[in-house]
Chain A
Amino acid sequence: MYEKPLPAIDVESGPFWRAAREHRLAIMRCRLCDRHFFYPRELCPHCHSSVVEWTAASGRGTIYTFTIARRPAGPAFKGDMPYVVALVELEEGPRLMTNIITGDVESIRIGQKVAAVFDDVTEEVTLVKFAPA
């Protein structure tokens, strides 16, 4: 039984979570200003146009910042300690929150290159995590 928080998938986030289940990282791009963004939104957060579309991200990025959790975010995370939570900056520009999968939390550095790995945590949900590239 998976006890960590799961997304309440809705009509807006559905395409992202469906892609993740197929081990693809889907983000949005604005066709007017040509910038990418994450998380998905009705309007482009940069220029507010409604001409936005889903696009495949490369899954490559760098660690913008991170922390090592020495206390769990609730009992479900106890078994993972210590674990790395990071903001990864994707090649395409947007940042997202994720875990860095590593056997050595002390080795993680800002600026480190990482690549997406897909963690099928339940039958319905796959989380996009990252590992040093």
Chain B
Amino acid sequence: MARKAAIVGVADTPLRQGVLAEDGTVLQIQARAAKAALDEAGLSFDDVDGLFAAGAWGVPGPGLFMPVTLAEYLGIRPGYLDGTQIGGSSFEAHVGHAAAAVAQGVCEVALILYGSRQRSDASRTLGARGAAVLNSQYEAPFGLPSPVGAYAMAAMRHRHVHGTTPEQLAEIAVATRKWAALNPAATMRDPLSIEEVLASPMICDPLHLRDCCLVTDGGGAIAVTSLERARDLKQAPVAIAGFAEATSHWGIAQMEDLAWLHHAADSGSRAMAMAGVAADDFDVVEIYDSFTITVLLSLEALGFCRRGDGGAFVSGQRTAPGGAFPLNTNGGGLSYCHPGMYGLFLLTEATRQLRGECGPRQVKDAEVALAHGTGGVLSTVATCVLTRA
């Protein structure tokens, strides 16, 4: 690419017990995060000429025109708009699209926004349950709890094909909780044991409550510009070295192989090839953890272990603080926060790790990071390779 792009500012919304620390609408949440991300970069709203947003608010209504609504609310008139909605992986895709736009010179400063009041509004479902239309009519009548049921079906299949045990899945929840204990912003910080995960209520076999992400509020923002401009800004720039996205299916019944994320393998290998890195080059890895099985499947597909070996890979608390493979270092969707579409926080954490700002949870000398988002019911993925610039 002609011009390289960099992340120059990040923000995530302060929470208390998973609820907004300062109450606000989804628009207020995003305005505050936008200001915080621009402020830490040393940029202003006048610099922003690209606006990216995804979320689950205001639909039907202004949320159908998400970046347009936000531009009006923020009082800016960007010349580059992107409302790509691929679930929790949207923000990795936005960073990729922003990097491509900056490289082409069609956008100079991109602002990526997200906001959710999911916990405060006491709603887990992303949309109301009306009549089942179009392709959803072949699934909705059968009462699969969504999204957990679809992930449970994948976990069941993985167990059948590869012998993956509930204990191995629990290893991920336990290790992630240890990282959360090191993050003062995390919602759940009390110690958690494998026995406690297995003793938590079964939601959809084989997934227990503690295999599932939290239900919280949250929001955040990311500012992207060219690497050359980034060098004059306030933060150490984090280069967007590689990116890719891919889709597999919309409904879980259409997924080709429920024990293998071929689209994640594709997206991951393309992003790594663009960056010129391989799986063993990463110092810190942030993988969307909607459920423990999401992490296990992603580790295999991204090439961190062989297909089917995910259970063995995460055993012995390998991904915990002090382990050989630092993973989801802010406490993840399992223990930090999960406002419905978690992908933005993979990027804020990877950025802060590469800047060396993470205090007790800092991974020493982190130079190469992965942020890998998953959306829908294992439907979509997007991957970003970030490096210290």
Chain A residues with CB under 8 Å of chain B are 4-10, 13, 38-39, 64-74, 76-77, 80, 83, 85, 87, 95-99, 110-111, 121, 125, 127, 129
Q: Which of B11-19, B153-161, B319-327, B357-365 faces chain A?
A: B153-161
The answer to whether residues A95 and B131 also contact, given A70-B205, A127-B141 and a CB cut-off of 8 A, is: no
Whether the pair A65, B143 counts as a contact (CB closer than 8 A) is: no
Q: Are B143 and A80 in contact (CB under 8 A)?
A: yes
Measured CB to CB, the residues of B under 8 A from A are 129, 131-135, 137-146, 148-149, 152-154, 156-157, 160, 201-205, 207, 251-254, 258
Given contacts A96-B253, A99-B142, A127-B141, A67 and B205 within 8 Å (CB-CB): yes
Q: Give Cα distance in the complex from A132 to B203, angstroms.
A: 24
A67–B157 contact, CB under 8 A?
no
**A contact residues around B156 at 8 Å (CB):** 65-67, 110
Least CB distance, A89 to chain B, in whole angstroms: 10
CA distance A53 to B275 in the complex (A): 46
Most A C-beta atoms less than 10 A away, residue of B132, B142, B253: B142
B148, B201, B205 pick with most chain A CB within 10 angstroms: B205
Contact of B141 among A6, A39, A65, A95 (CB under 8 A): A6
Nearest CB of chain A from residue B154's CB, rounded to whole Å: 7
Given the complex, which residues of A lie within 8 Å of B141, measured CB to CB? 4-7, 121, 125, 127
Complex-state Cα separation, A130 to B154, whole angstroms: 20
Q: How far is A56 from B230 in the complex, measured between Cα atoms in Å?
A: 62
Q: Pick from A71, A97, A125: contact of B142, CB below 8 A.
A: A97
Closest chain A residue, CB of each to CB of B159: A110
Q: Are A87 and B143 in contact (CB under 8 A)?
A: no
Name B148's closest neighbour in chain A (CB-CB): A71
**Pairs A-B, 3 closest by C-beta atoms:** A7-B137, A67-B152, A65-B157
18 other A-B residue contacts (CB within 8 Å) besides A67-B149, A73-B145: A5-B131, A8-B131, A13-B137, A39-B135, A64-B258, A65-B154, A68-B202, A69-B144, A69-B149, A71-B145, A72-B143, A73-B144, A77-B143, A80-B143, A83-B143, A95-B254, A97-B142, A110-B160
Complex contact B204–A67 (CB within 8 A): yes
Give the CA-CA distance A106 to B254 in the complex, in Å: 25
Decide: A85 and B137 in contact? CB cutoff 8 A.
no
Shortest CB–CB separation between residue A10 and chain B, in angstroms?
Answer: 8
Contact A97 B139 (CB under 8 A): yes
State whether A5 touches B129 (Cβ < 8 A): yes
* Residue among A5, A7, A66, A72 making CB contact with B145, cutoff 8 Å: A72
Q: B132 contacts which of A7, A96, A121 (Cβ < 8 Å)?
A: A7
10 A-B pairs with C-beta separation under 8 A: A7-B141, A8-B133, A39-B135, A65-B160, A68-B202, A72-B145, A74-B129, A85-B142, A97-B251, A111-B160
Selected contact of A73 from candidates B138, B149, B202, B258, CB within 8 Å: B149
In the complex, what's the smallest C-beta–C-beta distance from A125 to chain B, in angstroms?
A: 8
A68 and B258 alpha carbons, distance in the complex (Å):
16
Closest residue of chain A to B137 (Cβ to Cβ) is: A7
Which A residues are CB-close (under 8 A) to B132?
5-8
| Inter-chain contacts of A13 with B (CB < 8 A) | 137-138
A residues in contact with B131, CB < 8 Å: 5-8
- The answer on a CB contact under 8 Å between A97 and B252 is yes
Residue of A nearest to B251 (CB): A97
Of chain A, the residue at the smallest CB distance from B151 is A67
The distance in angstroms between the C-alpha atoms of A110 and B156, with both chains bound, is 8
Q: Which residues of B have CB within 8 Å of A66?
A: 153, 156
A77 vs B141: C-alpha distance in the bound complex, in angstroms?
Answer: 10
Determine the chain B residues whose CB is within 8 A of the CB of A98 once the complex forms: 142
List residues of chain A with CB within 8 A of the CB of B251. Answer: 97
B142 touches A68 (CB 8 A): no
CB distance from B131 to the nearest CB of A (A): 4
Pair B143/A70 contact, Cβ less than 8 Å: no
